[in-house]
Amino acid sequence: MSTAHTKQQLEDRILAKRQQIEFERTNLEEEIAFSPENRENPEVMEESKNFDDPAQNIVANTEMRSLEAAEQELQELLRQLEDLQKD
């Protein structure tokens, strides 16, 4: 397999991974924005106790881990591409 072919495959995988990350990030942001915890009336004491919770408490941990894993995979692909370009 030629270096140019391998480089093109890596670039394609990087583009796909970036699109996946953007899609997952957008979904998480929308889930946070529209979560019931963020729509509560902060003037009501019982409902307001979770009003300022960080996003990690609102969004499922598995979704956050999935996004973090995709970002790590992207970093690895970028490193591989950089190594190829050095040769």
- Whose tokens are 């106790």? That residue is 49
pLDDT digits (tens, 9 = 90+) for 22-62: 999 998 888 877 876 555 555 554 445 555 555 555 556 78
Domain boundaries, the chain: 12-86
CA distance linking residue 16 with residue 58, whole number of Å: 27
Q: pLDDT band for position 10 (50/70/90)? A: very high
Q: What is the pTM of this model?
A: 0.67
Burial code of 1-15, b = ≥16 C-beta within 10 A, e = fewer? eeeeeeeeebeeebe
- Tokens representing 83 are 């190594």
Query: Are 17 and 75 within 8 A, CB to CB?
Result: no
